[in-house]
């Protein structure tokens, strides 16, 4: 059974810092990995999707890397802003016969960026 | 751009009542997923549909059922509600395999 772990569980940084969020998964036979952002009581906003054949994806100040062999992904946020404060979730999709297996989520990292 | 639409946004029910949650996926998305997120917890997969057929089943209780209709919208039916069913229920949709999942804003169900 795939298990997804995110470290740290919570993080508080001053505005302007670069930061790294970590995600690890136990089953390396993944199809892809997706990073989401969730504001309190709200839905999940997709940030980046990395296919299993890719090593990284970038969108603006965000960069996500994937090392499938070691079961790790990192989300790098450059020049953090108070508006980045949210919970960040990583989710993996297993490589299954159906190819449509749903995502397994980590517990998230709760980020607070202090102005 | 069109997003995943869920209704209602909030729902309050009493124990043992029934509830129906609706989801309208992004146009042309052929796969719909339902997730349950309890307070302070990560989303847990319940069930998914591909082209109106059940595709995968997660931790969905027997008291719950779901279906996808000809117009691709989906409904999650919940019966004999329990206090522990209070949660945010998310619907997500995607194109075929490998595409990102796009989530709706969720339905907050409170069972009293």
Whether residue B41 lies within 8 A of chain A, CB to CB, comes out as yes
Contact, B36 vs B46, CB < 8 A?
yes
Q: Give A-chain residues touching B59 at CB under 8 angstroms.
A: none
pLDDT in tens, B14-68: 999 999 999 999 998 988 999 999 988 899 999 999 888 888 888 899 999 999 9
Residues 6+ apart with CB under 8 A from B10: B107, B108, B110
A6: exposed, middle or buried (C-beta count within 10 Å: 0-12, 13-18, 19+)?
A: buried
Q: Give B-chain residues touching A45 at CB under 8 angstroms.
A: 103
pLDDT along chain A (115 residues), means of 10: 90 96 92 92 91 94 95 97 97 69 88 96
Across the interface, whether the CB atoms of B50 and A103 are under 8 A apart is answered no
Q: Which chain A residues in 35-74 lie under 8 Å from chain B, judged by CB atoms?
A: 36, 41-46, 49, 51
Three-state secondary-structure class, residue B3: coil
């Amino acid at each position: 059974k795939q298990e997804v772990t995110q470290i740290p569980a919570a993080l508080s940084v001053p505005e302007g810092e670069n930061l790294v969020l970590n995600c690890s998964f136990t089953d390396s036979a993944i199809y892809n990995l997706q990073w989401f952002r969730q504001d309190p009581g709200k839905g999940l906003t997709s940030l980046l999707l990395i296919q299993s054949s890719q090593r990284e994806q970038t969108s603006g100040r965000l960069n996500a890397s994937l090392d499938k062999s070691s079961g790790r992904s990192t989300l790098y946020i450059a020049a953090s802003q108070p508006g980045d404060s949210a919970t960040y979730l990583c989710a993996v999709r297993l490589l299954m016969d159906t190819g449509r297996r749903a995502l397994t989520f980590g517990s998230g990292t709760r980020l607070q960026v202090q102005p | 751009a069109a997003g995943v639409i869920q209704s209602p946004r909030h729902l309050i029910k009493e124990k043992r009542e029934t509830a129906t949650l609706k989801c309208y996926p992004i146009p042309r998305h052929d796969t719909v997923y339902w997730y349950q997120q309890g307070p302070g917890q990560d989303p847990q997969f319940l069930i998914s549909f591909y082209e109106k057929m059940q595709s995968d089943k997660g931790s969905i209780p027997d008291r719950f059922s779901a279906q996808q209709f000809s117009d691709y919208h989906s409904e999650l039916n919940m019966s004999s509600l329990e206090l522990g069913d209070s949660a945010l229920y998310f619907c997500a949709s995607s194109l075929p395999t490998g595409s990102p999942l796009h989530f709706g804003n969720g339905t907050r169900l409170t069972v009293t």
